[in-house]
Amino acid sequence: MKKIILVFLLSAFSIVSFAGGGWNKKKGTGYFKLSQYAIIADQYFNPEGRLTEVSPRISFYNTAFYGEYGLTDRITSELYFPFFSRSVLNSLKRRNGEVVEGDRVSSLGDTNVSFKYGIDQEGSTVVSVKLTLGIPLGNASGGETGTLQTGDGEFNQMISIDVGHSFYPAPFYANASVGLNNRTKGFSEEFRYSIEAGLTLKKFVLIGRITSVHSFFNADTSDNASQGVFGNNIEYMSLMPELVYKIKENCGITAAVGTAFSGKQVLANPSYELGFFFEL
């Protein structure tokens, strides 16, 4: 590959998780989470959607802060800040004994700043609209070879709508989201959607989530032809189960696994995330 584009299933646009969705935070309340994410990949969905091997292996580690805070009862601010991202291309020993040295890069990661407006926050069904700004703080051409990334180098904007429903008094909720992601620097725009459901069992919350990304295939490939077009026209559908354990009423831990069962130009191995959250 001319350029190794790392696209992960626990991306910044799928961190709704136990927080957020269609529900806004009340003024002065918040949800804050510190998480550690990791993926070690030796499989990849190629541009035709076929599963192929990656050699040498690619590893990615992301330590991030995520927060939601109610500015008013209708407006919630959100921040996703990966303050340490590390991408590693493992060394490779060939059959003839030759060792191909690996490569690595560490930096900040691409950051998302969002503002969510609650259109309807009354009753069991809620609706909200959100603007997300993707700030390219990551390294788009890192390592000694310039092929490793902790970000895509482009500023994007996404508009999304969430609809959530609580089945109270049953301990069950569901949420659906659709969004349009406008990307710059010659990257294709994207249509994204997700469906999520959660069940509370005393101190545990069981969450299941399906996320999908579809490209409009409208990239201006001439803008990044020198680096290949591996960052454009990415598509996938992923399943992400998550377990939340509440240590106390306002804090707990989370564990999630993400895996793609179809995709194009995306790593195919499972990703893992552990987190600790605190609520105001």
- Express each pLDDT in 220-261 by its tens digit: 655 443 333 336 788 999 999 999 999 999 999 999 999 988
Name residue 189's beta-bridge partners: none
Report DSSP letters for 50-82, one per residue: -EEEEEEEEEEEEEEEEEEEESSSSEEEEEEEE
**What share of the chain has pLDDT > 70, as a percent?**
86
- Which of 152-156, 199-203, 223-227, 244-248 shows the lowest mean pLDDT across its residues? 223-227
Domain ranges of the chain: 12-279
> Are β-strands 75-89 and 204-215 bridged in parallel, bridged antiparallel, or unpaired?
unpaired
Q: How far apart are CA 131 and CA 191, in angstroms?
A: 14
Both tokens of 213, joined, read 């990304």
Mean pLDDT of the chain: 87
What's the gap between Cα 75 and its chain centre? 22
CA dihedral (263, 266, 271, 273) in degrees, to 10, reads -110
- The pLDDT of residue 18: 47
User: Under a CB-based contact definition with an 8 Å cutoff, are residues 161 and 129 in contact?
Assistant: yes
Enter the pTM of the model: 0.89
Q: What is the DSSP letter of 222?
A: G
pLDDT above 60 (res 8):
no
CATH number of 12-279: 2.40.160.40
Give the integer Cα–Cα distance in Å for 72 and 74: 5
Predicted confidence at residue 11, as pLDDT, reads 46
Look at 139 and 199; give whichever has higher pLDDT. 199
Could you report the per-residue pLDDT of 32-75, keeping only the tens digit for each?
999 999 999 899 888 899 999 887 888 999 999 999 999 999 99
Per-residue model confidence as pLDDT tens digits over 14-31: 444 445 789 999 999 999
Q: Give the pair of three-digit tokens for residue 207.
A: 């969450």
44 within 8 A of 60, measured Cβ to Cβ: no
CA angle 209, 214, 4 (to 5 degrees): 95
